[in-house]
Structure 1
Amino acid sequence: MSTPCAGSLLAPRALRTPLWRAAASAPMRVSFAGGGSDLPGVARQDGGRVVGAAIDLRIRVVVEPFDRGWVRMELAPRGCGREQPGGGSEAAEASVPRVLTRRRGDPPRDELAFRLIEATLAATGVGDGVALRVEAETSPGAGLGGSASAAVAALFALRASVGEAASPEELSREAVAIERERLGNACGAQDQVFAAFGGLLDLAFDARGCSGVRPLAIGSPGLVPALSAGLLLVDTAVRRVSGEVLDRVDAGAACEAKGELVAAAGDVARGFEIGSLALVLSGMRRGAAAKVRLSEAASAIAVSMKQRLDGIGVEVLRMCGAGGGGHLLVWAPPERHARLLDALGPCVVRRPSLGAPGVRLEPA
């Protein structure tokens, strides 16, 4: 089934106050192939395609009434586990929450960390007597679509706090418009769709944004568990702003790589459909090679890490998101993970579960 969710302009909203407390969470994502073909300038020519999955790393947003005349915003990163070579884990120290309080009617703060929250408040009109808290398991710039997840969860929670419902289509469309139109980010449109819909998806794109959402057809019940079992997300500890990375991508190189990106997404989708892990991995490798051609600079960490891990039996390795930092997606047979973790040393390694549900209300 195809579900249009192209971006649109944001209409001004009357200023409102939350009626009650509301909490929502949205998943982050990994793309198996096609990432980069969803960019507006690239998708304009013959369309784009991305195949990927929502994962069980989630952004949680809590909205509640606050003192009238005031707006309170808080960013509260949560501690995350660190995989050790022996398979154990230890809790990393949680970062200190960042809080910003301003009067209603004051100009929105332009501080980078709070711009997205300010934009969601403006988009919903919930901007008086409101406190909004964002809780995340990873810091911004992780390459897993965290900013889009935060936007979708915030939009859902803000609407729920004033008694409004919203469909995944509406939330993804509005979240894309916030990033592109309010914040001026040169972003794609896949992250917002995964955050809103969840699951394993095959997405189509045109110049306006996501033009079609289709759940992946899965030909074998054992395919997703087998793919998940070999998948690791390696935190490079380098954080970047995706819009700044994308601004440096050469338009000509992007258009040249687009055909391979889309073809790789087609290979992965076909692999899921016929239940072939080998074809899924082949498509992922094809997509990884196309991402390097798209921007060697943005993939430099992946290229260096691939050389470092040569001989361990890694079958797929590429940068997540726009590249330039964040996480590396690595796939290797589970029996090779012990050597792989040993070679990675102190890196934080996450084992994502694929197909997480989309945005949802949480216990308040």
Structure 2
Amino acid sequence: MIYRSKAPLRIGFAGGGTDVSPYSDIYGGAVLNATVSLYARASIEPLPGDKTVFQALDRGLSCEYVPGGERPSDGKLALHRAVYEHIAARYGKPEGGFRLSTYVDAPAGSGLGSSSTLVVAIIGVFAEWLDLPLGNYDIAHMAYRIEREELGMAGGKQDQYAATFGGFNFMEFPDRDKAVVNPLRVRKAYIDELENNLLLYYTSHSRLSAAIIEEQQRNVRRSDESSIAAMHEVKRQALEMKDALLTGRMDRVGELLHEGFEAKKKMARSISNPFIEEIYRTALEAGALGGKVLGAGGGGFMAFYCPDIRRYRVMRSLEKFAGSFRAYQFVPEGLSTWRIG
């Protein structure tokens, strides 16, 4: 028997950064995101004997796991090891050996929540294999705890919940340990129009999101008024983005992306840079109504809202950069697991 899982990556529309502690602990956070047809996938194949193998097929990495052994200092496959160790400590070590294989459709540092989504997919495939009694909130919270608390990786809360629940969601983070996922019933015609108008562009420059997030966290801890005011503004925009999507005011979605990007850049200096600004300015001059850098910023994917048929003019205008456009569709399903054989 082979056990499999997949979890979708997400596009953040508004409120990103307000799900990061300590801002969310003090003021409460709110974000709006939607999952797309790019996935983190995981498979578990039981093996004879007691050998345990981890492999990340997209990165060409593989290692044999030694229980209680020292973790590699370079952090390779740290997420695989951390999930397994968490599951084994909580539910008991699985009997026999196995091979855990993963693949992610976007690189780390892409801004689509790839690392958190990978953790969700790995938890999901273990839950399928071991018949663990885990609901969506359980899985998302476990993924957050493994990444942020056990591994100490800087980041927010939205990615784990987006990957687990799927679809368009308005998420609230009222305090340190609570999350509320509000699914949005966006009309299909509005979703189709959004897919038609929203370009997903990979800058070909990945970035280390941790440094950007840590700068944002320092700004909150030292009560930097400009940074905190910007976070308040992007949180307010998440509410307005929800209203725009539900009422079909699609051009307002594009305007809010622009307003959100301008506010987000005040949260931390490293969110943007001259390269990103040149790409963004080029897209606006070609007809994009708005856009933003996805995730923490600094590189990775960008999104551009291009009404009518302006998308084609924008695509041509960005050919001079070394990036690429990624085809996608919005998907309503979150984490899914199954077995075969």
Name the TM-score, length of structure 1 as normaliser. Answer: 0.84
Q: How far off is 1:283 after superposition?
A: 2.5
Q: Deviations over 1:117-164 (max 9, x none)?
A: 111101111566221111112221111001111101100101211222
1:34 to 7, 12, 15: 15
Residues 108 and 347 (structure 1 numbering): CA distance in 2 closer, same or farther, change over 3 Å?
same
Distance 2:291 2:20 in 1: 22
Unaligned runs of 5+ in 2: none
Aligned ranges 1:40-51 → 2 under 5 Å: 40-51=21-32
Q: Which residue of 2 aligns with 1:98?
A: 61
Q: Which residue of 2 aligns with 1:339?
A: 313
Count residues in correspondence: 326
Provide the aligned C-alpha RMSD in A: 1.9
2:205 to 238, 243, 249: 238
Q: How far off is 1:363 after superposition?
A: 5.4
Q: Deviations over 1:182-221 (max 9, x none)?
A: 1101210000000000010000013425521101143x44
Q: Deviations over 1:312-343 (max 9, x none)?
A: 11112211101112111111125122222222
SS at match of 2:22: helix
Aligned ranges 1:184-199 → 2 under 5 Å: 184-199=152-167
Are 2:258 and 1:282 equivalent residues in the alignment?
Answer: no
Please say if residues 267 and 282 of structure 1, whose CA atoms lie closer than 8 Å, have aligned partners that are also in contact: no
1:172 to 136, 140, 144: 140
Q: How far off is 1:50 after superposition?
A: 0.3
Please say if residues 199 and 357 of structure 1, whose CA atoms lie closer than 8 Å, have aligned partners that are also in contact: yes
Are 2:229 and 1:256 equivalent residues in the alignment?
Answer: yes
Query: 1:56 corresponds to which letter in structure 2?
Result: S
Please say if residues 212 and 268 of structure 2, whose CA atoms lie closer than 8 Å, have aligned partners that are also in contact: no
Q: When you count helix as a share of all residues, which structure comes out higher?
A: 2
Distance 1:184 1:164 in 2: 25
Distance 1:341 1:113 in 2: 36
Query: 1:148 corresponds to which letter in structure 2?
Result: S
Which is worse superposed, 294-303 or 180-189? Answer: 294-303
Distance 1:266 1:227 in 2: 18
Are 2:158 and 1:181 equivalent residues in the alignment?
Answer: no
1:216 to 141, 165, 184: 184
Aligned ranges 1:310-321 → 2 under 5 Å: 310-321=284-295
Name the TM-score, length of structure 2 as normaliser. Answer: 0.89
Which is worse superposed, 224-233 or 350-359? Answer: 350-359
Please say if residues 268 and 281 of structure 1, whose CA atoms lie closer than 8 Å, have aligned partners that are also in contact: no
Distance 1:202 1:258 in 2: 16
SS at match of 1:106: coil
Are 2:88 and 1:120 equivalent residues in the alignment?
Answer: no
1:329 to 303, 320, 331: 303
Distance 2:263 2:178 in 1: 21
Q: Which residue of 1 aligns with 2:324?
A: 348
Q: Which residue of 2 aligns with 1:205?
A: 173
Aligned ranges 1:42-81 → 2 under 5 Å: 42-77=23-58
2:240 to 267, 280, 288: 267
Please say if residues 21 and 176 of structure 2, whose CA atoms lie closer than 8 Å, have aligned partners that are also in contact: yes
Distance 1:57 1:148 in 2: 14
SS at match of 2:287: coil
Which is worse superposed, 275-284 or 113-122? Answer: 275-284
Which is worse superposed, 164-173 or 174-183? Answer: 164-173
Which is worse superposed, 288-297 or 125-134? Answer: 125-134
Query: 1:358 corresponds to which letter in structure 2?
Result: G
Query: 1:331 corresponds to which letter in structure 2?
Result: Y
Distance 1:136 1:221 in 2: 27
Please say if residues 200 and 325 of structure 2, whose CA atoms lie closer than 8 Å, have aligned partners that are also in contact: yes
Distance 1:248 1:356 in 2: 33
Please say if residues 40 and 207 of structure 1, whose CA atoms lie closer than 8 Å, have aligned partners that are also in contact: no
Unaligned runs of 5+ in 1: 1-19, 78-94
Distance 2:288 2:254 in 1: 11
Please say if residues 302 and 317 of structure 1, whose CA atoms lie closer than 8 Å, have aligned partners that are also in contact: no
Distance 1:67 1:317 in 2: 51
Distance 2:249 2:182 in 1: 19
Q: Percent identity, aligned pairs only?
A: 24
Are 2:115 and 1:147 equivalent residues in the alignment?
Answer: yes
Which is worse superposed, 255-264 or 201-210? Answer: 201-210
SS at match of 1:175: helix
Distance 1:353 1:49 in 2: 24
Please say if residues 276 and 299 of structure 2, whose CA atoms lie closer than 8 Å, have aligned partners that are also in contact: no
Which is worse superposed, 97-106 or 153-162? Answer: 97-106
Please say if residues 40 and 206 of structure 1, whose CA atoms lie closer than 8 Å, have aligned partners that are also in contact: no
Residues 65 and 111 (structure 1 numbering): CA distance in 2 closer, same or farther, change over 3 Å?
farther
Q: Which residue of 2 aligns with 1:21?
A: 2
